[in-house]
């Protein structure tokens, strides 16, 4: 039975308190980034929830592999075999290229190294905020994941880690409207910035001059300028170049080559930013020496 | 769930909070709504406090209207629930735009209608559970 007189503060007072608290939270989270520990603490408590929410998809997937027909498995096996053969053949060429590249870089005195450590993480099939392009992966700070870490899939760049919890981390995809990524056109090295559009299959290029040499079908790769992403990874392919009379720049639209909406496993990449920094600081001191050594026979 | 259905997904958490406030008004109130919103923020990775803010106002409205809602007919209930949910979404949207985050398209509002249509059945199912467990 409801008591005739409520004890404690009235609903309006409670609401004012709660709203004030919420405002404090918003301001603290927005401007001071003070709440990451609170958030990750709470996130640990909701991890079972994420796990449960992802469970049906996971079970369905397991069932699918269980009941996959023998012929299909054979076909897949064949395909993978062929692919493996092809990749290995290509790898042989890369091995020689890599050693050549390293030799040339050694000549220049640059400390840049190509090798890198990766960790495979699985996407949790959980829908986060439907108006942001974010995904949740099942590796977190306990596995060494850090904020700003680049995330790739088998084809291309997917995004970067924006938040880590002990067991999970949130990845912001390159197509989110708040994400921008320094890229260059692979064919001629023209630099630009790819801004997410909020749609899963579209990126917009910023400030491309109207006379720039950009064509439909050009591959965009990361330029490595921001320091977050390693240079030279494929990002997107240009699908549309539009030149409008009223605009100061060309409108260039690209489609990500990563399968952002279908990828199931992602690669978390390590140690590239540090190597980049190392390369930059080292090259300042090493390059003049290298130049001199090449000038003096 | 397919991506295309994202816009039609009802606001389950909001509906649940409203249901509990209307069933157990003297135990569950504004602060519970606040915590539900906070947890939703953590789960969906949105700005901390965004849903907490909108949920506390929603909780307050529900607490105030609860006695009237109990007397309403089914369609009147659904309409008042729709109003409350719309206020919730409006505040949520306001926080988004006030913090310079990308704001969603117009289809953002379809969820409130879906939730409104679902409300009567949702309430019946949950009420059945409450009866069975004898929670009141």
Contact (CB<8Å) A42/B42: yes
User: Which of chain A's residues have a Cβ under 8 Å away from the Cβ of B47?
Assistant: 26, 29-30
User: Which of chain B's residues have a Cβ under 8 Å away from the Cβ of A35?
Assistant: 48
Higher pLDDT, B128 or A272: B128
Tokens of A150: 């680049």
Contact (CB<8Å) B37/A28: no
Which is nearest to B86 in space by CA: B21, B18, B136? B18
Q: Give the ipTM.
A: 0.78
Closest-approach residue (CA) in chain A for B27: A2
What pLDDT sits at residue A126?
A: 66
Give pLDDT tens digits for A179-221: 889 999 988 889 999 998 888 888 999 888 888 888 899 999 9
| Half-sphere exposure for A165 (CA within 13 Å, toward CB) | 23
Residue B134 near chain A (CB below 8 Å): no
Lowest mean pLDDT among A168-177, B6-15, B109-118: B6-15
pLDDT interval class at B129 (50, 70, 90): confident
Q: How far apart are CA A14 and CA A36, in angstroms?
A: 26
Would you list the DSSP string of A108-145?
Answer: HT--------EEEEEEE-----TTS-EEEES--GGGT-
Closest-approach residue (CA) in chain B for A29: B48
Mean pLDDT of chain B: 84
Q: State mean pLDDT over A76-81.
A: 91
CB-closest option in B30, B50, B102 to A26: B50
Contacts for A58 with CB less than 8 Å, ≥ 6 apart: A125
What pLDDT sits at residue B41?
A: 85
Angstroms from A170 CA to nearest CA on chain B: 8
What pLDDT sits at residue A275?
A: 47
What pLDDT sits at residue A280?
A: 45
Q: State mean pLDDT over A74-88.
A: 90
Higher pLDDT, A95 or A203: A203
Angle at A77 between CA A74 and CA A80, to 5 degrees: 150
Residue A266 pairs in a beta bridge with A121
Q: How far apart are CA A160 and CA A222, in angstroms?
A: 13
Lowest mean pLDDT among A37-51, A84-98, A172-186, A266-280: A266-280
User: Which of chain A's residues have a Cβ under 8 Å away from the Cβ of B38?
Assistant: 25, 42
User: Which of chain B's residues have a Cβ under 8 Å away from the Cβ of A131?
Assistant: 102-104, 108
Angstroms from A48 CA to nearest CA on chain B: 11
Residue B27 near chain A (CB below 8 Å): no
Contact (CB<8Å) B43/A12: no
Residue A135 pairs in a beta bridge with A171
Q: What is the Cα A33 distance to its own chain's centre?
A: 21
pLDDT interval class at B7 (50, 70, 90): low
Q: Reduced to 3 states, what is the DSSP secondary structure of residue B58?
A: helix
> Would the CA dihedral through A33, A34, A38, A44 be positive or negative?
positive
Contact (CB<8Å) B30/A14: yes
Contacts for B104 with CB less than 8 Å, ≥ 6 apart: A130, A131, B93, B96
CB-closest option in B26, B45, B53 to A129: B45
Give pLDDT tens digits for A220-233: 998 888 778 888 88
Angstroms from B8 CA to nearest CA on chain A: 11
Contact (CB<8Å) A24/B49: yes
């Amino acid at each position: 039975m409801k008591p005739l007189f409520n004890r404690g503060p009235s609903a309006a007072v409670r609401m004012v308190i709660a709203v004030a608290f919420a405002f404090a939270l918003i301001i603290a989270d927005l401007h001071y980034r003070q709440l990451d520990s609170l958030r990750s603490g709470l996130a640990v408590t909701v991890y079972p929830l994420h796990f449960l929410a992802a469970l049906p998809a996971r079970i369905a997937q397991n069932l699918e592999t269980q009941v996959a027909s023998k012929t299909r498995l054979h076909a897949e096996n064949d395909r993978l075999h062929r692919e493996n053969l092809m990749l290995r053949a290509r790898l042989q060429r890369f091995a020689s290229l890599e050693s050549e590249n390293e030799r040339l870089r050694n000549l220049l005195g640059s400390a840049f190294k190509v090798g890198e450590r990766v960790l495979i993480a699985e996407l949790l099939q959980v829908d986060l905020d439907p108006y942001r392009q974010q995904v949740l992966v099942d590796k977190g700070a306990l596995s060494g994941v850090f904020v700003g870490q680049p995330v790739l899939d088998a084809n291309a760049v997917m995004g970067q880690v924006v938040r880590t919890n002990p067991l999970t981390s949130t990845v912001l995809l390159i197509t989110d409207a708040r994400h921008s990524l320094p890229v260059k056109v692979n064919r001629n090295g023209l630099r630009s910035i790819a801004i997410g559009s909020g749609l899963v299959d579209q990126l917009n290029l910023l400030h491309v001059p109207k006379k720039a040499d950009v064509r439909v079908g050009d591959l965009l790769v990361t330029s490595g300028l921001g320091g977050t992403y390693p240079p030279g990874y494929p990002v997107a392919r240009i699908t549309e170049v539009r030149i409008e009379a009223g605009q100061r720049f060309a409108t260039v639209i690209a489609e990500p080559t990563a399968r952002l909406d279908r990828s199931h496993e992602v690669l978390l990449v390590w140690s590239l930013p540090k190597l980049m920094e190392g390369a930059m600081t080292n090259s300042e001191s090493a390059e003049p020496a290298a130049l001199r050594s090449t000038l003096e026979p | 769930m397919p991506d295309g259905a994202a816009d039609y997904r009802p606001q389950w958490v909001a509906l649940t909070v409203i249901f509990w406030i209307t069933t157990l008004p003297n135990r569950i109130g504004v602060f519970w709504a606040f915590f539900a919103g906070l947890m939703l923020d953590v789960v969906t990775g949105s700005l901390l406090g965004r849903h907490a803010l909108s949920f506390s106002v929603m909780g307050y409205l529900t607490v105030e209207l609860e006695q009237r809602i109990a007397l309403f007919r089914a369609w009147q209930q659904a309409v008042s629930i729709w109003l409350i949910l719309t206020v919730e979404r409006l505040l949520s949207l306001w926080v988004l735009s006030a913090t310079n985050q990308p704001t969603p398209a117009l289809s953002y509002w379809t969820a409130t209608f879906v939730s409104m249509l679902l409300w009567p059945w949702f309430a019946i199912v949950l009420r059945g559970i409450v009866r069975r467990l004898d929670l009141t």
